[in-house]
Structure formats: C-alpha cells, structure tokens
Amino acid sequence: MEFTKISSDRIGDSYYKMLHPSGLTIYVYPKKSYNSTYAIFGTNFGSIDTTFMYKGEKIVVPDGIAHYLEHKLFESEDGDAFAKYAKTGAMANAYTSFDKTCYLFSCSDNFEESLNILIDFVQSPYFTEKTVQKEQGIIGQEIKMYDDNANWRVMFNVLTAMYHNHPVSVDIAGTVESIADITAEKLYKCYECFYNLNNMSLCIAGNIEPQEVLRIVDKKLKPSPKQEAYSIFEDEPYEVCQSYIEQNFDIAMPSFVLGFKEKAKQRVATVEEIAATDIILYSLLSDASDLYNKLINEGLINDSFGYEYFEGRGYASVLFSGESRNPEKVTEMIKLTIENLHENGISDKDFEMSKRAIYGKSIEILDNPDNIADILISFDFSKRELYDYINAIAKITKNDIENRLKEQLDVNNCSLSVVKPFCED
C-alpha cells in the first residue's frame, strides 16, 4: 500500500494520492517551507442532495439536513470536538456548501493529536432526539440571521430567478419549517448514505510527509463497505424563471448579482472548460479589462465587484456581483460587451494577457496550504486533477476560447437580482 506521486514537470512540484484500503481517498501535498499544516476531511454530500437513491430506495430528506448534520457531528458521547481542539492548539472549523460538507483544522504543533480528533469525530456520529431538537433553535436563529443579510439574499434571489427545479436555489441551511422535520433517524440515514469513506476524501497540505499521514490514518480509519448513494435532480429548463428580482433592505448602497444561466449537464465541467471560462471572464471583467475600468471611472461599481463561474452537479452559471447605485446600467454595459465578444471574439492581446494572468494565479495558489487542500478536495469530488487544470491553461488556444463562448454568456438568458435601500431617492 503506497501513495502515488503526482508530479508536474511544468512547475516542478509534486503531491501524493492514495486510495486507502478503508475506501478513503487521501491526498498529501508537502510544503516543507511552511510551519503550519492544514487538513480537510470531507464528504461529497451537500445541500443539493435531498432526493437520492440508496440500495434501490428513493429517499427524500428535508432541505438543510446536510448543514444540520455538519453541526451535530461535532458532538459525541465523550465531549465536543472543539473543546478537544482547544487542548491541541489547532484552529478548527467546518462548512457545508451546495455539493460537499467539510471538516478542517490548521495547526503548527500537535498535528497527530489534531488529526486523530478529526478522524474520530467524523467517524463517530452521535444523535439523540433531545440534542437534535435543541439544535433546531440554534440553526433557526442562524437561518433568520442570513435572511436579514442583504448580501446573502441577493445571491439566493438570483438563483431563485434562474432555476426552476434544481435545489441549488434553496438556502444551504434550509428554512425554519424544513429543519423542523429533521430527526435523529433522518440524520443517521444521511450519514449512512453519504459518510461512507468511499464517498469521502482527506486532503492535507503543509509541513507534513505522506508516510507520517499514513501511519496515523492506518490506526484510525474504519473500513467502509463499497456502496453508492446518488442524487436525483428534476430536469432543469434552459430558460431562466425570471429576468429581474428585487428586494428591499436596510442598507445604504444597492447591491446586485447578474447571473447568466447555462444548459444543465449531467456532469461537472472539465478542466479544459474551466480554464477557458476563467480566461474569458478575466478578459471581460478583471481589473485589467477595459470594461471594468470604464465602470469604475463612471462610478458605476466599486472595489466590491467580482465574478465567478458557479457550477456543480446539474447547474452552471456565470455570476457578476457588487455594489452599484445603478445596477441596471451596469447590466446593460456588461451585456453589450458580451454581445461584442460573441460577435468579434477575443482579441489576440486580451487572450495572451488573460492566459498569462490565469496561469500565474493558478501557480500562486500553490503557495498557500489552505488553498491547496481546499482545491484538492473540490477537484477530487468533481473528478479533476490539479495539475491537469494548470496544463489546460498552458495549452489552451484562441479557438478553444471561442468554442467555449458558444456555450456561455447568453444575454437572452440571464437574471438580475437587486437589493435596494427602503428609502431610495
């Protein structure tokens, strides 16, 4: 049983990967120049996984159950995991996204003790009806807090405007009503289905060696029988639900998210597609682009502006967001520039500049162990490899970009979400 060394001649770096006999996929990315080490243990189970098949049975669970399970897993019969981390000095956290749930820590000392805590509590669920009911009030308050957060609502409003059926439009934490239906039995069922080591990954980056990790995990991992739960999503129409959605908040400056919806696919994007999209978006609206500087100079956006390619199982869109006193004007200018891009293609100058910039950013990420581990686990769950993405950037051509453009940024299939102050002149 050995790690496979994955190397990049292009950048002169390496990391290690293993499919452990327990079923768990393990990545180790040594960075000897760093004093700290970062570990993330995650499952390919997120907020969108509410309807799934398991052992021939269709199972439907309440919205927000993945996030709820994340909260409850820190508790065990022998104490709270955070209290244990306090003794090792490690900084611990967890998060639930649309498509995964992850538990993590970073430390400068006591790595073995901290990794033991992580593996132990993630593999040892302990739920009772009493503790589950107690958590409903805590998470209910969290949901209400996010409902009152303008930045949170403007994002989910655009997803609601774009998606008819896909659960990506549902708040990750669910609703107060949906979490009221969560029981210990349902939490255990989700744990059984998705917290199988064959559906999980452990990624570690920093001042650590593969054999040291293997020595620790060999003592701790409990073998999982290979089984599969897979989610079911309703067919998602290409067209957005509505082109505009607005909400009022007690804020000083309006904010917006402009989303361009893509055709739903049964697979996630390839590294080549991701690389092409990254270059397109950089050329279009990075701080080096003509459009960005025009919007800044006209006072239409500020340094809160950003963009992302938002994609996962069964959904994909490009999102532009920020603060603006005139989101409609910003939208108009973005759409006009996109139309020109579709008609005339990307210029040689913009292509070369954007390609170099994205390649540089991908290398820069490898200087941060936190970023490395986060990317490794995301890529593992989407069946992508880190160095393949970097190679795709280096090899991409203008023709690849123009072919990718045919699938993206349809100005007739977009939604604008705006939150405005209650009293706006």
Last residue of a domain, one of 231, 258, 277: 231
Q: Is residue 239 part of a domain?
A: no
Q: d(Cα 417, Cα 134) in Å, to the nearest integer?
A: 35
Last residue of a domain, one of 177, 197, 231: 231
Q: Is residue 301 part of a domain?
A: yes
> What's the confidence (pLDDT) of residue 225?
87
Q: Is residue 88 part of a domain?
A: yes
Q: Is residue 236 part of a domain?
A: no
pTM: 0.93
> What's the confidence (pLDDT) of residue 424?
52
Q: Is residue 237 part of a domain?
A: no
Last residue of a domain, one of 231, 252, 274: 231
Let me know whether 295 and 397 are in one domain.
yes
> What's the confidence (pLDDT) of residue 193?
95
Let me know whether 211 and 338 are in one domain.
no
163 token code pair? 């998606």
200 token code pair? 């999980």
State whether residue 260 is helix, strand or coil.
strand
Q: Is residue 255 part of a domain?
A: yes
Let me know whether 283 and 393 are in one domain.
yes
Beta strand 414-421 with 244-249: parallel, antiparallel or unpaired?
parallel
DSSP secondary structure of 326-338: -HHHHHHHHHHHH
Let me know whether 273 and 225 are in one domain.
no
Q: How many helices (H) and strands (E) does the chain have?
A: 15, 17
User: Which range marks the domain in which residue 370 is found?
Assistant: 244-421
Q: Is residue 238 part of a domain?
A: no
Let me know whether 32 and 175 are in one domain.
yes
Let me know whether 227 and 267 are in one domain.
no
C-alpha distance from residue 37 to each of 57, 247, 369 (Å): 41, 43, 7
Let me know whether 120 and 221 are in one domain.
yes
Let me know whether 203 and 249 are in one domain.
no
Tell me which residues are annotated as active site. Answer: 70
At 258, which CATH number?
3.30.830.10
Query: Residue 48's CB: how many other CB atoms inside 10 A?
Result: 23
Let me know whether 116 and 92 are in one domain.
yes
Let me know whether 167 and 272 are in one domain.
no
- Tally the domains of the chain: 2
Let me know whether 252 and 209 are in one domain.
no
Rounded mean pLDDT for each run of 10 residues along the chain, 425 residues in total:
91 95 96 91 97 94 96 84 92 96 95 96 91 86 89 96 97 94 95 96 96 95 87 95 95 96 88 96 96 97 96 95 97 97 94 96 92 95 94 96 94 97 70
Let me know whether 321 and 194 are in one domain.
no
Cα-flanking dihedrals φ and ψ of residue 212, to 5°?
-65, -40
DSSP secondary structure of 286-326: STTSHHHHHHHHTTS--TT-EEEEEEETTEEEEEEEEE-S-
